[in-house]
């Protein structure tokens, strides 16, 4: 089963399938695609995100953005997917309408997995059936209806995420600050390496950022910046033909030796050794 809604006037796309591995080429996903993946099976489903194996348990959902590299090569069972691009539904534009919806889309630093409680399974199943019905109804307001249903799905998942993830200590403003910091790191990590750089962009002090992240998890803002650089280095090694020197310059290192030292410190392997270990 696969459905796709498109509006060529604004280049918006929204699709849904009960088997993303089988139907991935149908949706022609690109750099703007955001996905909500849902395991509706009675057993776990395996997928790979940024070279990390994820086992999605029954009735769990995970969100990915265009910043992630997702592979379904190891996925052996059907995996339900909702996929949309920013013109169809922009997370940032809806922040004021959906309180804290950003906690599902923190950027590359988080892979939020949400578990559907037993008493909410019927709610999700009903919403799923309504999606199918609406995709089958082609009229002038179909796009509006689908956007409304997607918004409802995001709201429900957001409420569960706030309960299940390590977010109870944070208020809405603090949650949004964590998300915006991660998004800024994704945008500027090649040129901005200091916490103070991001504190300035957020109109906060470095100490304020550190205190909030101490409440949220054990990774400091500086660790997140360095981890983001290391993640991109791994991606370039795993998914491109670029050599170590090219990667070093791409990531803002003036000296390849400095990059090699940084990479080994972050991963315990030199770039060359890491490349050898991860050859298919």
* Phi, psi for 35 (deg, rounded to 5): -130, 145
Q: What strands lie across the sheet with 52-56, from one edge to the other?
A: 52-56, 45-49, 70-71
Cα–Cα distances (Å) from 42 to 37, 56, 88, in that order, read: 15, 11, 31
Nearest to 269 by CA among 244, 240, 242, 241: 244
Using one digit for the tens of pLDDT, what is the confidence trace for 149-207? 998 999 899 888 888 876 666 777 887 788 888 888 888 999 999 999 999 999 999 99
| 233 in Cβ contact with 278 (< 8 Å) | no
* Phi, psi for 43 (deg, rounded to 5): -130, 165
Q: What is the pTM of this model?
A: 0.81
* Phi, psi for 122 (deg, rounded to 5): -65, -40
Using one digit for the tens of pLDDT, what is the confidence trace for 97-153? 454 456 777 665 667 889 999 999 999 999 999 999 999 888 888 888 998 999 899
Using one digit for the tens of pLDDT, what is the confidence trace for 199-245? 999 999 999 989 888 877 667 899 999 989 998 998 888 888 899 99
E strand or H helix at 188: helix 172-188
Find how far residue 139's CA is from the centre of its chain. Answer: 31
Reduce the DSSP state of residue 166 to 3 states and report it: coil
């Amino acid at each position: 089963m696969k459905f796709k809604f498109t509006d060529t006037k604004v280049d918006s796309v929204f699709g849904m399938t009960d088997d993303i591995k089988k139907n991935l080429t149908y949706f022609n996903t690109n750099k703007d695609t955001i996905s909500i993946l849902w395991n509706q099976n009675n057993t776990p489903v395996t997928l790979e995100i940024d070279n990390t194996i994820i086992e999605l348990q029954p009735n769990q959902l995970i969100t990915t953005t265009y910043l992630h590299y997702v592979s379904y090569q190891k996925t052996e069972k059907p995996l339900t997917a909702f996929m949309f691009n920013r013109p169809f539904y922009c997370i940032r534009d809806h922040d004021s309408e959906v309180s804290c919806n950003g906690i599902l889309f923190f950027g590359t630093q988080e892979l939020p997995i949400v578990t559907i409680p037993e008493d909410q399974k019927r709610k999700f199943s009903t919403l799923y059936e309504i999606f199918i019905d609406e995709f089958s109804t082609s009229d002038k307001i179909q796009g509006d209806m689908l956007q409304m249903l997607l918004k409802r799905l995001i709201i429900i998942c957001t409420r569960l995420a706030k309960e299940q993830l390590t977010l109870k200590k944070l208020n809405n403003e603090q949650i949004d600050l964590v998300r915006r910091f991660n998004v800024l790191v994704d945008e500027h990590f090649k040129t901005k390496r200091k916490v103070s750089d991001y504190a300035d962009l957020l109109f906060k002090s470095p100490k304020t950022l550190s205190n909030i992240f101490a409440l949220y998890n054990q990774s400091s803002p500086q660790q997140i910046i360095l981890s983001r650089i290391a993640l991109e280095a791994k991606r370039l090694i795993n998914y491109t033909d670029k050599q170590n020197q090219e990667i070093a310059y791409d990531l803002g290192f003036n000296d390849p030796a400095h990059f090699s030292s940084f990479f080994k410190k972050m991963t315990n392997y030199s770039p060359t050794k890491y490349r050898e270990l991860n050859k298919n």
